[in-house]
Amino acid sequence: MIHFNRHNTRPIALAHGAGGAIDDNFADIAHALRDEFHLFGHNYPGSGDTPADNAPLSIEEQADKLINSALELGYFRFPVFGYSLGTTVAVTAAYRRPDVVAALILLAGFPRADAQATLFSSLYASLAQEGRYKDLAHLLMLAQSPAVLDETTEPNTQVEQLTAQLNPAAQGHVPQMEAVATADVTQLLPHITVPVLVIVAGQDRIVLPESTRELARLLPNSHIVELPEAGHVPTPEESRRIAKGVQGFLASVDAQR
């Protein structure tokens, strides 16, 4: 279990994206929320310090594990924040345990994988399995937003750094990438009645922004926020804006109780 700001008592449970980790996906957001919230989550097999597992990644198992971890920490009503593939974990958690999930925050999510997400995850998995880590690093560089790419001054250096990080860690991400293609929470969405904040990354090169908008449309009680210049991975400044939106959203949820 990974914790941020454990001294706080207001909880937010976290579900990370495919190929990511709790630290990688949420550190900047958690830092911006350091004065108010205790954020926590576990890494899927193959991410962070969690040993890799060649078995298919079960969204339901990850949702149950997250809920049980929160309950063990003494939290009995809490929001869940999902990022990318983690949005399907968050939705599944809310569907399976409506008695404990108080709200959802969904960043760069989708109801089911679109063509862009399917092709990206398939190529990632293939390159990882073949040990083509430098090609995979190039893919990840190209998946950044145009604004971030435009500010890249030493792309070759960044590719080399990414290559070192991916070798051999990316092989442990293969089941996560395969889960992207099969994850589908479309039938669950009409049953999610808690308040939901849906955050759209307008320059996302991994999940089509329209897929995130569709996710919002299919949820009965959603509020959508657009980040027009954001890519799939938010910058530190975008993370601060996301954190501010989360604070406002959860304040409104508390006010409605």
Find the angle CA(226)-CA(199)-CA(21) to the nearest 5 degrees. 135
Kind of pairing between the strands at 37-41 and 2-4: antiparallel
pLDDT tens by residue, 34-91: 999 999 999 999 999 999 998 999 999 999 999 999 999 999 999 999 999 999 999 9
pLDDT above 90 coverage of the chain, percent: 97
Which tokens hold the place of 168? 């051999």
Instruction: Express each pLDDT in 136-184 by its tens digit.
Output: 999 999 999 999 999 999 999 999 999 999 999 999 999 999 999 999 9
Where does the pLDDT of residue 255 fall: very low under 50, low under 70, confident under 90, or very high at 90 and above?
A: confident
DSSP state of 188: T
Residue-wise DSSP of 131-152: T-HHHHHHHHHHTS-HHHHHT-
User: Which of the listed CATH numbers 2.40.10.10, 3.90.1150.140, 3.40.50.300, 3.40.50.1820 matches domain 2-112+185-256?
Assistant: 3.40.50.1820
pLDDT over 90 (residue 256): no
Token pair, residue 126, equals 């293939």
Task: State the Cα–Cα distance between residues 117 and 83, nearest whole angstrom.
Answer: 14
Taking residues 216-223, what's their average pLDDT?
98
Does the structure show a pLDDT above 90 at 120? yes
Q: Is the pLDDT of residue 257 over 80?
A: no
User: What are the boundaries of each domain within the chain?
Assistant: 2-112+185-256, 117-172
pLDDT of residue 192: 98
